Amino acid sequence: MYKIIFIITIFFLANTVKAQELRARINVLSNRVGGNVDKKTFQTLQTALNNFINNRKWTNDNFSPEEKIDCSFLLNVESTNEVNVYKASLTIQSARPVFNSSYLSPIINFQDNDIIFKYVEFQQLEFNDNRVAGTDPLTANLTAVIAYYINIILGLDYDSFSPRTGNIYFQKAQNIVNNAPEGRSISGWKAFDGTRNRYWLAENLLNNRYSLIHDAYYSFYRMGMDKLYEDEAMARNQIINVLNLLNNLNTDNPNTMILQFFFQGKTQELIKIFSKATSSEKSKALEYLQRLDISNISKYKDELK
């Protein structure tokens, strides 16, 4: 009897220690790959990425099954002129549950179009925090990109539950940026590669000048979305306060990447939240949203009249 209890206890502890943080879905599309490449290569890559992301421990914390972070990665691959070297776009999405509901509120909805990598079927996907670039930059670039965005996912999820608790993961993302693979065709890791890339996202998240963004994430989710069931009017008011906070941040620091990043994927959610608001609340929300989420102005105007 004691032996059975001991075995069960060891089994439970072993599984607790291995409790992974992510509930990730990974899809690899290869419609744009031409030539004589065997498409099974990308099925193998999809399986390898699934194992790399979902079977690896990314934090020192234990997550119960219901605490796992819902996220997805869509890698859309195309050919290059080099054998086994591919260009790709990566769409990253993550969401977190809203208290007292089955609704998942989007935190990240972003597409990175600057990925190039080398992959030979059945090669092992490796990543080392202390040796990000690896021995072959093109081979290491894919796992470096994936690890980077996993840390962004973790950091923002932590920020959404407790004030400014995501910094350790933003710093890990910054470490990947600082030690990223380098090569003639590799881009997205440097300040001069553009204004909306991995470098600037990590920089914005760690720059004290934009530190209010972390308060905005916490207040939007924990004080706003999580309170909708309990007190809808109060929750909407909190979200208006977040929009005001973001508007102040935008006034002082116009056109920063992190502000655009915050609103991607939230348009329909915000419209639904304010569709039941009073006229004055709709007017105030519309005033802010027209300044902050410029690409969706027409949708807000049509829905929040």
Give me the number of domains the chain comprises.
2
* Residue 4, domain member (yes or no): no
For residues 74 and 29, the answer to whether their CB atoms sit within 8 Å is: yes
- Do residues 246 and 167 both lie within one domain? no
Q: Is residue 9 part of a domain?
A: no
Of the CA atoms within 13 Å of residue 41, those in its CB half-sphere come to 20
- Give the pLDDT score at 110: 98
Two structure tokens written together for 278: 């009073």
Position 222 scores a pLDDT of 97
Among 213, 288, 286, 193, which Cα is nearest to 253's?
Answer: 213
pLDDT in tens, the chain (305 residues): 434 433 333 333 334 345 689 999 999 999 999 888 899 999 999 999 999 999 999 999 999 998 999 999 999 999 999 999 999 999 999 999 999 999 999 999 999 999 999 999 999 999 999 899 888 999 999 999 999 999 999 999 999 999 999 999 999 999 999 999 999 899 999 999 999 999 999 999 999 999 999 999 999 999 999 999 999 999 999 999 999 999 999 999 999 999 999 999 999 999 999 999 999 999 999 999 999 999 999 999 999 98
137 domain-assigned: yes
End position of a domain, from candidates 182, 206, 230: 206
Domain that holds residue 266: 213-303
* Same domain for 141 and 196: yes
- 176 and 290, same structural domain? no
Phi, psi dihedral angles at 271 (to 5 degrees): -60, -45
Query: Domain for residue 293, yes or no?
Result: yes
Question: Distance between CA 209 and CA 26 in Å, rounded?
Answer: 35
H or E segment to which residue 128 belongs: none
Whether residue 225 is found in the same domain as residue 268: yes
Same domain? 180 vs 222: no
**Sheet containing 69-79: which strands, arranged edge to edge?**
22-32, 69-79, 85-97, 104-118
The structure's pTM equals: 0.93
- Output the DSSP codes for 8-63: HHHHHHHHHHT--SEEEEEEEEEEE--TT--THHHHHHHHHHHHHHHSS--SSS--
Q: Which long-range contacts (CB under 8 A, 24 or more apart) does 79-88 make?
A: 79/32, 79/33, 79/34, 79/35, 79/37, 80/116, 82/118, 84/118, 84/119, 84/120, 85/116, 85/117, 85/118, 85/138, 86/33, 86/116, 86/117, 86/118, 86/119, 87/115, 87/116, 88/115, 88/116, 88/117
Is residue 93 a part of any domain in this protein?
yes
At residue 184, the pLDDT reads 87
180 in a domain, yes or no? yes
My answer on whether 156 and 283 are in the same domain is: no
- d(CA 108, CA 160) in angstroms, rounded, equals 12
195/228 same-domain check: no
Pair 78, 155 in one domain: yes
Residue 12 within any structural domain of the chain: no
| Residue 11 domain flag | no
Closest by Cα among 138, 140, 217, 206 to 173: 206
- Identify whether residues 158 and 293 lie together within a single domain: no
**pLDDT at residue 58, rounded to an integer:** 96
Q: What is the DSSP letter of 84?
A: T
Of 175, 190, 206, which closes a domain? 206
Q: Which residues pair with 77 in a beta bridge?
A: 88
Domain co-membership, 202 together with 248: no
- In this structure, the answer to whether residues 93 and 155 fall within a common structural domain is yes
The answer for residues whose C-beta is within 8 angstroms of residue 16's C-beta and 6 or more apart is 62
Residue where the block lists tokens 């979200």: 239
Domain co-membership, 152 together with 275: no
Q: Which of 164, 179, 206 is the last residue of a domain?
A: 206
The pair of structure tokens assigned to 299 is 């949708």
